[in-house]
Amino acid sequence: MTTTIRMYNQLNLGDCFLLKFSTSTEDSYLLIDFGSYEGNNSEREREIAQDIKETIGDKKLTIVLTHQHKDHYSGFLHAGDILKNKKNKTELWLSYLDSEISKEGQAIRSVTEKFWKKSKKVKAILKNKLAAEAKPQIQMMLDKKESFDLFAEDQSGGEAITKLLEIADNKVKFLTPGDHFMMPGTNDEIKVYVLGPPFDNKFLSKRDPGKSEEVQGLNAMMEMANMDISGSMMLDALTSLYEPESFQEYDFPFNRQYINTGADNGPKKAYENMDEAWRKIDDDWLSEIGRLSLFMDKLTNNTSLVLAFEVVASKKVMLFVGDAQIGNWQSWFNVVFKDSDVTGEDLLSRTVVYKAGHHSSLNATLKQGLDLMNERELVILIPVNQKVSEKYGFHMLKPGMLKGYHRKSQGRVLRSDSIVQNSGELVLDFPFLDAEKFGNRIHVHPPKGHPHLWIEVTVT
């Protein structure tokens, strides 16, 4: 039994992993995510799709979409037709949240849809009206918001799923934490365990690793509802500033008579005193807009389908977490696999391949989780693109996180965007990609020439 994990280089930020399970009698393939963050990448995506198609031939293919962010699905939109193939049998796996009948899924979809509608209007107002005032703090917030929103803004997740259903000929399986089954086409030599997304919806909104306690007992549904209202309040306020006041705003939050229209206004004079201009609060309230974007982003990331693949004979585990945030990770410790002694903690401790969460962002790897992994064999795969990350100011590839990865895996860290890492800036305990350590387990294609299309690691 050999598993080969191929990490494609999109030349952009995004995930695309092709796993090949080879047994003595048959081979089968699993494609986990296929996308790029920036929209203009179809040429490369088609190149990748072509390579996937040629690799698979007429073998069985299973496709997994972890969550509905563009950097995980755009490839299916732009190059999905290449993957369509009547000869092989293709199956699609999605999280239970993507199912029509999932209550949580419905709620998330409804909130998301409303959010984007409002967000669009809010952005238009801010762009048209406030840009003229040229305030760097607002501009910075909007730029940052833009880069967060880009993960999902055009709302093409649904379209991607439609496309995927078409590719899989409607053969779809919705996975729920606690599910475990044999990987089809592997002669019962590989077992799949579903760890996330959390069933208990309070974990869906949990994101920041520092704030570990506070979300306990918080109802994510309620939180979503509150975010929805908050979004409306912001939109109402912004709209009324530039357009005739709406009905909702007329007497909100106080009856109209309390607005001071008189000339004799001491507080106004104090507020507008130029010497004290540094104390004004004209724009601080707009931060709520940024916070809403952040909330939506973490919500979608936390819906990531998390799969652990166990090599039945050797008990080794390969862990694919999508962009799961801390709340998702924490829920794994409570997952119960029916008629099985296996636990989330157990799977983590046997992990020898870890697909780094959210392109190595800090809030997407739980320290206790990483600590548990098998450090003698662990290989960490980071799908990332430094240029894109830096361009948009994402906090990926942070020295602290990278060092943690390197220390834990004793330097066995692979990145999708580069073969050799320039560690001049960073003093690493272990040099990057030490050929001796990997031996013949690593393959790069094309072996020479730049840039590479994929990098592959073998697990036996």
CB closer to another protein, 341 vs 425 = 425
The least distance separating another protein from the CB of residue 142, rounded to whole angstroms, comes to 10
Burial (Cβ within 10 Å: 0-12, 13-18, ≥19) of residue 326: buried
The least distance separating another protein from the CB of residue 424, rounded to whole angstroms, comes to 9
CB closer to another protein, 267 vs 447 = 267
CB closer to another protein, 128 vs 212 = 212
The least distance separating another protein from the CB of residue 291, rounded to whole angstroms, comes to 6
The DSSP symbol for 360 reads G
Residues 6+ apart with CB under 8 A from 102: 96, 174
How many CB atoms lie under 10 A from the CB of residue 28?
22
CB closer to another protein, 210 vs 449 = 210
Q: How far apart are CA 239 and CA 243, in angstroms?
A: 6
The least distance separating another protein from the CB of residue 211, rounded to whole angstroms, comes to 5
Alpha-helix runs per DSSP H in 67-198: 70-83, 103-125, 136-149, 157-167
The least distance separating another protein from the CB of residue 55, rounded to whole angstroms, comes to 37
Of the candidates 146, 143, 11, 159, the residue with the CA atom closest to the CA atom of residue 78? 159
CB closer to another protein, 121 vs 291 = 291
Token look-up 């990609």 returns 433
The least distance separating another protein from the CB of residue 137, rounded to whole angstroms, comes to 5
Residues 6+ apart with CB under 8 A from 360: 382, 384, 396, 397, 398, 401, 402, 405
Q: How far is CA 272 from CA 133, 268, 269, 286, in A?
A: 17, 6, 5, 20
CB closer to another protein, 399 vs 446 = 399
